[in-house]
């Protein structure tokens, strides 16, 4: 997570790109220029307040004391260093006794070294505090991700926001809230340095000060122009970089190795890699060209300035108005001035860069917050009736489409068609309902609406007559046990994966019962640490990998442990062999006794143990009834059934 | 810790590899080195001249010296800025090329070798360390810094030698005696030796402490990363987390590791700070001594004030170079230790010798494949995945392979494709052991759609041709055959449409659509043998039935092998092999096997029972449904 700088820089480009897009320079991003600019000024101080408020909360007032100490020594040390050459020279030519001179020189140097020691110490302490501050913020970020509203997080916007906010804490020392706080402090430090040095130079000569300031402004301008120019290539660099990362990843994923070898894709990939590198290098070269031009201008300007400064100082000395030590001091001050300017610019650039990241983070923290204090369902744990009234649902933007073959949704903006359209449905308490239909019919979306994972775009969903939206989400979820299509386990112990509660708080007998009912107990008992054995090796190298069939059973065990009054099963047997599939069906059948159940499957045969079958197509119910009545009726269900049954039925 | 020699053996081998990749890299670095040291030392000389001239009141001469100084700075500044541009580009290239080297090697390995845990681990380790600790680029800059420090040390030493040699004026008593060449040389040598020794001790002590801290920390980062990326960043898991109320459980797990991480970084920062402080302390003592010595030379009249600035500058350089040499060499040591894994990966030998005889080109597709008593055990496991499999695959026949999960069906296919080699027995093609054939040629006989096939984020046509030459007519032909023609025509850029969003802003496709494209890719090869492993798993019943219907057309004139859990698919295969527990337990046509009432019949019935209840009623007449 604390990656090296190179890769950080690249990831950060995304940020810059967005900022750029907001400036309205890319793809006609209709930036409302002035309004935004006003907003930005307000934000600058707002973010600063936010960051330092959080710093105070997390790390205490000591953090500010450290920052203050660092500031004092940060300004003092360079000044002492600049003054040293002059002071020592003054000492050496003072004509005092040799012993005294040596003592004085030693005194100066020791003073300087003490300051250097303290400055280094304070700087290290300050940076440590800011580093740990970021780690503390990580926890906040993770908690937010887990506790926010799921639907908001699942939208394309939500995912983008999550990725952007993640940069705030997971992108190393140079990005995010830590870098923001540090850059801000460095900016202050350099500003103080500039003011102090400016006063020293200005006291001697206003002319010199003007010269320094104007040269500084010119250099800043050149550098800014180069930066702006470089930004124009960032977009492509970003794209190339994520492409490179993609191919990097995919080309060594073990299972892809089969296709790569069978189809001889190695030459194709290597060629692509080299093309990408070449392009990346030439883009960088293009950017560097700008920086080089700015650098050359900078060197020429410095040369001109130095000629003027040296000339002026030498003139003053020749006129007897300046001593050698003062001459050396001014040389040091002027060189130091340049350092302050450079440091200031760097800090300002970093601040601007990280300000965006911090802003994104704050937006994420305020996004999709679950409203607290809503009541729980009236009849927890009892058989529920679920009613949908005129429910429509439309995917937002690039929202993840869980529906297979739903081609419309990845378009810009909103999906053009409703995934669920004006659906009315009542699932009676204790009813067993089957949802069938072709890919993309809206089956998975419908079950997400049923259990409150998604809110309808229009229309209402009721649980025992109470509108879902008015109930506490977490409490509503308690009433549902869903076995999703995608099998997912965490690299935690089996017990935690099944019980879904903190380690040590699970109900042992219940856990064993659910494992047993799911047909997994024997396997789990045979593991080295039984139900405390970790799954996979991500967290525990001793972890155990389960087969597809076993994972399917584990999903079932999880639902059994939860023992909720409503059970939803989404196409749960796709990867199983016929015998295992048939066994699984029997287990499901057993499990849903005495519960309200919704079952989704492509195997129409499996819907036979349901009371009622809904045939969905394009988000609408096209047929409804029992298997018998639907078969009698003819129409899409009977046709589809016949299609599937055909091969099984033509017995010879 | 590795010995000095082995470290640099690794280092130099890598430098040579870099040089072979691009021969301009190292000379560019050398040029930069000359320029940056030149600037420092020329600056010291010229400043000394300037100060002396000023002290002497020679303002004209001082102005000349100042101008020289400024011109020198200008020249060096401009030159290194120009070089910097080149170096930046070269550095990026070297950094990225490292990943390509890894892949080139990975591609050249056979599948079985690549799958061995220790080989895969080396690869991942090299990747990770290059990402986190810096890779080739860092190695290169470290060598550059080391060389620079060495040269810097030599230059400063030779300058400082001059300081020692300068004779003091007479009449300064004990100070004069101290300032004369031999004692001052001894003094300086003592200080330098002390500094080198001190710097090394500091480094050693903290290196040990640091190692201890990092050893305690192994894996914490990986786990935090796992939790962030795979758990929190997995948006598909989000719904599960919420429905099952797993938030507290996950947070608990996470906070354990975040706390560890916090403690680790706190300790690491402390060590870093203490090391910095200790370094500064050693350096401070040296600098105080250096100033005193140089001042002593000035007050005793041995050198001028101008020379004083020059010598002090040189002594500063000495101290700095000394510390950076030790620190960077330590870092280099670390990198080279990592890189040894990388080199070991490059040196990994394939498990199996590759054959070289060409495959006989036959236009009639008469390729007969036979398994002769083949047994196979996956590396690192004890159980045989295939046991004594002996069968002949009929030329141009349609073979179905069925069995329970884990019965060995996919293993059978992998062996056939030569992704693995039999533990015992052999597989033959037209009577010759397949190991003797040239690998690429042998594989070109197969068009395979694996269960976990993969399409890549490239244009559709590149996916279909697998990166080979574009033959438009043929691409469309196979797309039509795979029922993907209308789908591709509907895409914004037709054949040039990118898939997915990873490389370009392409289209997302569903599992079913991906399966069709994978099928097209297999057909594009025009291979005599077509293998389909679960090709309809992601399709809905209608699409599935369409694939079944086209199957005959697709595999016409070829040998085909078909694996599926949908028993219905066996109906149009003329030969069925049933696997159970790694063995072939039954073989024959659907009718024969069904009649035999064995393993096959059981599986068939398990699926067909739901449909069979109504076998008495033909689908055309659903009116008289189930009784």
Q: Give pLDDT tens digits for A213-238.
A: 898 889 889 988 988 888 888 788 87
Which among A267, A451, A642 is the nearest to B243, CB-wise? A451
Q: How far apart are CA B2 and CA A248, in angstroms?
A: 31
Domains, in order of start, for chain A: 12-22+35-365 (1.20.1560.10), 386-489+546-649 (3.40.50.300)
Among B274, B326, B294, B250, residue whose Cα is nearest residue A125: B274
- Which string of DSSP letters, residue by residue, matches B342-382? HHHHHTPPPSSPPB-BPPPP-TT----EEEEEEEEE-TT-S
- The answer to whether residues B563 and B409 touch, using CB atoms and an 8 Å cutoff, is yes
Question: How confident is the model at residue A1, as a pLDDT?
Answer: 36
Give per-residue pLDDT as tens, B567-626: 888 887 889 999 999 999 999 988 899 888 888 888 888 888 777 654 433 333 333 333
User: How many C-beta atoms lie closer than 10 Å to residue B4's C-beta?
Assistant: 10
Asked if residue A80 has pLDDT above 60, the reply is yes
Give the residue, A320 or B172, on which the prediction is more confident: A320
How many CA atoms lie less than 13 Å away from B152 in the CB half-sphere? Answer: 25
Which pLDDT score is estimated for B451? 84
* Size (chain A), residues: 652
State the number of CA atoms in the 13 A half-sphere of A526 facing the CB: 6
**A648: nearest CB among B405, B521, B608:** B608
Minimum CA–CA partner of A488 in chain B: B237
Q: What are phi and psi of B154, to 5 degrees?
A: -60, -45
Contacts of A248 in chain B (CB under 8 A): 99, 103, 127
A563: left (phi over 0), alpha (psi -120 to 50) or beta: left
- Tell me which DSSP letter residue A457 carries: S
Helix count and strand count (H, E) for chain A: 20, 10
**Which of B60, B133, B217, B243 to mutate against chain A (most A CBs within 10 Å)?**
B243
pLDDT of residue B30: 96
Q: How many CB pairs under 8 A join A and B?
A: 472
At residue B583, the 3 state secondary structure works out as: strand
Residue showing tokens 């909720």: A564
What letters, b where the CB count within 10 A reaches 16 and e where it falls short, cover B43-82?
Answer: bbbbbbbbbbbbbeeebeebbebbbebbebbbbbbbbbbe
The answer to whether B529 and B502 have CB atoms below 8 angstroms apart is no
Interface test with B, best of A404, A578, A608 (most B CBs within 10 A): A578
Mutate to test the interface with B, among A132, A146, A368 (most CBs of B within 10 A): A146
Nearest partner of A619 among A431, A385, A418, judged by Cα: A418
How does residue A406 score in pLDDT terms, banded at 50, 70 and 90? Answer: very low
Residue A33 has pLDDT above 50, yes or no: no
Q: Angle between the B25-55 and B59-108 helix axes, to the nearest 10 degrees?
A: 160
CATH number of B365-445+529-611: 3.40.50.300
Average pLDDT rounded to a whole number, residues B142-148? 95
User: A44 falls in which pLDDT band (50, 70, 90)?
Assistant: low
Task: Please say if the pLDDT value at position A74 is more than 90.
Answer: yes
Give the residue from B454, B453, B432, B451 showing the smallest Cα distance to B441. Answer: B432
Contacts of B538 in chain A (CB under 8 A): 404, 574
Model pLDDT, residue B503: 83
Chain-chain contact of A109 with B291 (C-beta, under 8 angstroms)? yes
Secondary structure of A127-148 as H, E, C letters: HHHHHHHHHHHHHHHHHHHHHC
Q: Taking Cα atoms as reference points, which of A8, A6, A5, A13 lies closest to residue A237?
A: A13
Tokens of B624: 């008289």
Average pLDDT over residues B87-113: 92
Distance (Å, whole) CA A375 – CA A377:
7
First to last CA, chain B: 81
Query: At a CB cut-off of 8 Å and minimum separation 6, what does B335 contact?
Result: B129, B133, B134, B135, B138, B139, B142
CA distance B92 to A5: 13
Q: Give the chain A residue nearest B308 (alpha carbons).
A: A89
Q: Choose, out of A121, A649, A650, A651, the residue to mutate when testing the contact with B (most B CBs < 10 Å).
A: A649
Q: Place A3 in a pLDDT band, splitting at 50, 70 and 90.
A: very low
Query: Higher confidence at residue B544 or residue A109?
Result: A109
Spell out where B86-163 has E strands.
none
Cross-chain residue pair A303–B503, CB shorter than 8 Å: no
pLDDT tops 50 at residue A13 = no
A319 lies within 8 A of chain B by CB: no
CB of A267 within 8 Å of a chain B CB? The answer is: yes
**Lowest pLDDT segment from A151-160, A195-204, B147-156:** A151-160
Which H or E run includes B101? helix B59-108
- A5 pLDDT more than 70: no
Q: Give mean pLDDT, residues A580-586.
A: 81
SS3 B172: coil
Give the model's pLDDT for residue A10. Answer: 43
Distance of alpha carbon A401 from alpha carbon A408, whole angstroms: 10
Coil, helix or strand at residue B138: helix
Contact at CB, A628 and B626, closer than 8 angstroms: yes
In chain B, which residues have their Cβ closer than 8 Å to the Cβ of A500? 244-246, 249
Long-range contacts of B169-172 (CB under 8 A, 24+ apart): B169/B300, B169/B301, B169/B302, B172/A98, B172/B299, B172/B300, B172/B301
Residue A319 CA to residue A314 CA, distance in Å, equals 8
pLDDT band at A643 (very low <50, low <70, confident <90, very high): confident
CB burial of residue B551 (10 Å; 0-12, 13-18, 19+): buried
Residue B619 is predicted with a pLDDT of 38
Tokens describing residue B250:
């996950």
* The length of chain B, given as a count of residues: 627
Instruction: Provide CATH code, domain B454-526.
Output: 3.40.50.300
Residues of chain A in contact with residue B542, where contact means CB-CB under 8 angstroms, are: 438, 640, 643
The first and second tokens of residue B17, run together, are 């590899």
Give bridge partners of residue A460 from the DSSP assignment: A389
Chain B residues inside the 8 Å CB shell of A396: none
pTM over 0.90: no
Q: Where in chain B is the domain with CATH 3.40.50.300?
A: 365-445+529-611, 454-526
The distance of A491 to chain B (nearest Cα, Å) reads 9
Strands B424-429, B369-377: pairing is antiparallel
Q: What pLDDT, on the 0 to 100 scale, is given for residue B143?
A: 95
Percent of chain B exceeding pLDDT 90 equals: 40
- CB contact A308 to B (< 8 Å): no
Greatest Cα pair distance, chain A, in angstroms, is 122
């Amino acid at each position: 997570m604390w990656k090296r700088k190179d890769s950080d820089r690249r990831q950060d480009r995304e940020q810059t790109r967005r900022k750029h897009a907001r400036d309205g320079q890319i793809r006609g991003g209709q930036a409302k220029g002035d309004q935004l600019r006003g907003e930005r000024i307000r934000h600058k101080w707002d973010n600063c307040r936010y960051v330092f408020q959080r710093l105070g909360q997390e790390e205490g007032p000591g953090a500010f004391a450290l920052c203050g100490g660092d500031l004092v020594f940060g300004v003092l040390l360079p000044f002492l260093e600049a003054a040293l050459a002059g002071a020592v020279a003054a000492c050496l030519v003072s004509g005092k006794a040799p012993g005294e001179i040596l003592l004085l020189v030693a005194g100066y140097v020791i003073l300087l070294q003490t300051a250097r020691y303290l400055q280094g110490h304070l700087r290290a302490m300050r940076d440590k505090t800011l580093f740990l501050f970021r780690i503390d913020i990580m926890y906040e970020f993770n908690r937010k991700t887990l506790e926010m509203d799921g639907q908001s997080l699942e939208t394309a916007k939500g995912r983008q926001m999550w990725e952007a906010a993640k940069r705030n804490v997971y992108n190393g020392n140079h990005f995010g809230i830590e870098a923001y706080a540090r850059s801000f402090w460095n900016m202050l430090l350099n500003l103080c340095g500039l003011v102090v040095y400016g006063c020293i130079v200005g006291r001697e000569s206003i002319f010199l000060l003007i010269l320094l300031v104007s040269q500084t402004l010119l250099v800043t301008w050149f550098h800014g122009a180069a930066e702006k120019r470089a930004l124009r290539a960032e977009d492509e660099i970003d794209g190339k970089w994520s492409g490179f990362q993609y191919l990097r990843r995919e080309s060594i994923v073990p299972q892809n190795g089969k296709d790569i070898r069978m189809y001889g894709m190695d030459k194709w990939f290597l060629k692509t890699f080299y093309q990408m590198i070449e392009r990346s290098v030439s883009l960088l070269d293009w950017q560097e060209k700008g920086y080089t031009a700015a650098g050359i201008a900078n060197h020429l300007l410095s040369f001109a300035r130095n000629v003027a400064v040296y000339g002026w100082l030498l003139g003053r000395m020749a006129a007897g108005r300046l001593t050698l030590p003062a001459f050396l001091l001014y040389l040091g001050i002027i060189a130091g001035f340049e350092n302050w300017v450079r440091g200031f610019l760097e800090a300002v650039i970093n601040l601007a860069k990280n300000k965006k990241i911090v802003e994104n983070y704050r937006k994420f923290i305020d996004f999709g917050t679950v409203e607290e204090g809503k009541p729980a369902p009236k009849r927890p744990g009892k058989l529920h009736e679920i009613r949908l009234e005129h429910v429509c649902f439309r995917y937002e933007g690039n929202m993840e489409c869980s529906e297979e073959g739903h081609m419309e949704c990845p378009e810009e903006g909103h999906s053009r068609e409703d995934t669920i359209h004006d659906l009315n449905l009542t699932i009676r308490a204790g009813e067993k309902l089957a949802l069938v239909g072709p890919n993309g019919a809206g089956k998975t979306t419908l079950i997400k609406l049923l259990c409150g994972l998604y809110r309808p775009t229009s229309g209402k969903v009721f649980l025992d007559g109470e509108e879902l939206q008015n109930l506490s989400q977490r409490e509503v979820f308690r009433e549902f046990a869903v076995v999703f299509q995608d099998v997912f386990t965490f690299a935690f112990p089996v017990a935690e994966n099944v019980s879904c509660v903190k380690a040590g708080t699970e109900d042992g007998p219940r856990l064993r019962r659910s494992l047993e009912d799911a047909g997994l107990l024997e396997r789990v008992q045979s593991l080295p640490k039984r139900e405390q054995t970790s799954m996979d090796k991500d967290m525990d190298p001793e972890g155990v990998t389960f087969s597809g069939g076993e994972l399917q059973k584990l999903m079932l065990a999880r639902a059994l442990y939860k023992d909720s009054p409503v059970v939803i099963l989404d196409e749960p047997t796709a990867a199983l062999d016929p015998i295992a599939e048939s066994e699984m069906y029997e287990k499901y059948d057993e499990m849903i006794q005495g519960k309200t159940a919704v079952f989704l499957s492509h195997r129409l045969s499996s819907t036979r143990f349901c009371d009622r079958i809904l045939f969905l197509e394009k988000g609408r119910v096209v047929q409804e009834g029992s298997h018998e009545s639907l078969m009698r009726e003819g129409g899409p269900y009977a046709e589809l059934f016949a299609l599937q049954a055909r091969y099984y039925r033509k017995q010879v | 810790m590795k010995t000095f020699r082995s470290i640099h053996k690794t280092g130099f081998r890598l430098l040579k590899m870099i040089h072979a990749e691009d021969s301009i890299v190292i000379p560019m670095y050398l040029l930069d080195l000359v320029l940056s040291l030149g600037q420092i030392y020329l600056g010291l000389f010229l400043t000394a001249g300037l100060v002396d001239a000023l002290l002497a009141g020679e303002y004209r001469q001082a102005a000349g010296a100042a101008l020289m100084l400024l011109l020198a700075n200008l020249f060096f500044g401009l030159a290194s800025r120009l070089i910097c541009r080149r170096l930046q580009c070269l550095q990026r290239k070297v950094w990225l090329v490292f990943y390509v080297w890894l892949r080139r090697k990975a591609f050249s390995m056979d599948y079985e070798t690549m799958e061995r845990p220790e080989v895969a681990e080396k690869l991942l380790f090299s990747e990770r360390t290059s990402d986190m600790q810096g890779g080739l680029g860092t190695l290169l800059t470290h060598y550059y810094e080391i060389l620079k420090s060495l040269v810097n040390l030599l230059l400063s030493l030779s300058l400082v030698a001059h300081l020692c040699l300068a004779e003091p004026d007479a009449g300064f008593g004990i100070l004069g005696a101290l300032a004369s060449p031999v004692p001052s040389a001894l003094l300086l040598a003592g200080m330098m030796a002390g500094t080198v020794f001190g710097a090394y001790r500091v480094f050693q002590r903290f290196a040990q402490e640091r190692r201890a801290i990092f050893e305690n920390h192994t894996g914490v980062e990986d786990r935090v990363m796992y939790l962030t990326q795979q758990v929190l960043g997995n948006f598909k898991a989000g719904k599960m987390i919420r429905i099952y109320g797993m938030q507290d459980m996950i947070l608990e797990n996470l906070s354990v590791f975040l706390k560890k991480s916090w403690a680790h970084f706190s300790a690491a920062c402390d060590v870093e700070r203490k090391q910095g402080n200790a370094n500064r302390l050693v350096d401070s003592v040296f600098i105080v001594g250096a100033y005193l010595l140089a001042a002593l030379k000035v007050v005793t009249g041995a050198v001028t004030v101008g020379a004083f600035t020059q010598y002090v500058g040189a002594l500063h350089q000495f101290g700095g170079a000394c510390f950076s040499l030790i620190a960077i060499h330590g870092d280099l040591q670390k990198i080279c230790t990592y890189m040894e894994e990388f080199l070991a990966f490059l040196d990994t030998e394939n498990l199996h010798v590759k054959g070289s005889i060409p495959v006989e080109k036959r236009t009639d597709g008469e390729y007969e494949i036979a398994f002769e008593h083949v047994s196979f055990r996956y590396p690192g496991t004890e159980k045989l995945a295939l046991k004594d499999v002996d069968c002949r695959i009929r030329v141009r026949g349609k073979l179905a392979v069925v069995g329970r999960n884990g019965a060995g069906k996919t293993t059978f296919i992998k062996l056939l494709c030569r992704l693995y080699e039999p533990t015992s027995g052999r597989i033959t093609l037209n009577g010759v052991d397949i190991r003797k054939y040239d690998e690429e040629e042998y594989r070109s006989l197969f068009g395979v759609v694996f269960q976990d096939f993969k399409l890549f984020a490239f244009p559709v046509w590149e996916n279909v041709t697998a990166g080979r030459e574009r033959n438009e007519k043929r691409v469309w032909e196979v797309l039509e055959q795979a029922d993907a023609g209308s789908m591709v025509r509907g895409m914004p850029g037709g054949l040039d449409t990118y898939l997915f969003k990873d490389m370009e802003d392409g289209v997302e496709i569903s599992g079913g659509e991906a399966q069709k494209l994978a099928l097209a890719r297999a057909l594009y090869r025009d291979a005599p043998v077509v293998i389909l492993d679960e090709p309809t798993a992601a399709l809905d019943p209608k699409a599935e039935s369409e694939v079944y219907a086209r199957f005959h057309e697709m595999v016409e004139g070829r040998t085909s092998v078909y694996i599926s859990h949908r028993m219905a698919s066996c109906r149009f295969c003329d030969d069925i092999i049933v696997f159970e527990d790694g063995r072939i337990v039954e073989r024959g046509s659907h009718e024969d096997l069904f009649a035999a009432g064995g393993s096959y019949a059981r599986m068939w019935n398990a699926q067909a029972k739901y449909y069979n209840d109504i076998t008495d009623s033909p689908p055309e007449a659903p009116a008289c449904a189930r009784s």
